[in-house]
Amino acid sequence: MTSGDRTHVVDLASTPLRQLNSALHRLRPDTNQTLWRIANPRGSHSVAVGVDAPITIEIDGHVGYYCAGMNKNATVVVNGNAGVGVAENIMSGTVHVKGDASQSAGATGCGGTLVIDGNASARCGISMKGVDIVVKGNVGHMSAFMAQAGTLAVLGDAGESLGDSIYEARLYVRGAVQGLGADCIEKPMTDHHKAKLARKLAAAGLAGAIDVSQFRRYGSARRLYHFHVDNVY
């Protein structure tokens, strides 16, 4: 590891990943080591997982599975593509992928913001519990499956079975939806929802850049999680 101009540079070509993550885990909330740059990730898995400090981490290259998983308070920027489960179980802070993301991006996320500049593969936002996810490209099939809370905003298209078995998360899609999952329906896009979406997009760095009236809103029909006597066998 090297330091210069208050930026800590870690080259994963020479520094073991475990050593990097251990150093990040030791940081306290009042740390002055707030800027980190990671070189040569070369598709490594679990880069910058479990960070719990208000720092900024820039990763120069592609990462593998579970990058920035369990993130809390940190801002993590991936200057490349991300593998399965980027920002999985994010609690707070921001994760920004400047390329594409593989399956299960933002899975089970409880808070914070995940921004993907490219496309996200299948099951984006699966079982999300409060995270806000903004995808500037398309999302794959089964996105927002069992999504419980939070927001998924897709500027492109959505694949089959969007929002299958959804609870109370809000889904906004600007492009075409190939198909809705069980209990997911289109809902009115009111001025209230347009304002909420505008705030989410602004938090993702898109303030005023997108016409929110171009989006359609989807959510739960609330049929699956209410008791119906006709379903008793």
Each residue's pLDDT tens digit, 88-138: 999 999 999 999 999 999 999 999 999 999 999 999 999 999 999 999 999
Average pLDDT for runs of 10 along the chain of length 233? 75 97 96 96 98 98 98 98 98 98 98 98 98 98 98 98 97 98 97 97 92 97 74 61
144 phi-psi bin (left φ>0, alpha ψ -120 to 50, beta other): left
Mean confidence (pLDDT) of the chain: 95
Position 24 scores a pLDDT of 98
Position 228 scores a pLDDT of 65
Please give the CATH number for the structural domain made up of 2-223. 2.160.20.60
Position 2 scores a pLDDT of 63
- Residue 176 has phi, psi (to 5 degrees) of -85, 150
Position 60 scores a pLDDT of 98
Position 137 scores a pLDDT of 98
152 phi-psi bin (left φ>0, alpha ψ -120 to 50, beta other): beta
Q: State the Cα–Cα distance between residues 187 and 191, nearest whole angstrom.
A: 13
Tokens of 147: 């999504």
Provide, for the chain, the percentages of residues in helix, strand and coil under a 3-state DSSP scheme, each rounded to the nearest 5. 10, 30, 60
Flag whether the pTM goes above 0.85: yes
DSSP line for 22-35: HHHHT--TT-S--E
Position 6 scores a pLDDT of 78
Question: What is the domain partition of the chain in residue ranges?
Answer: 2-223
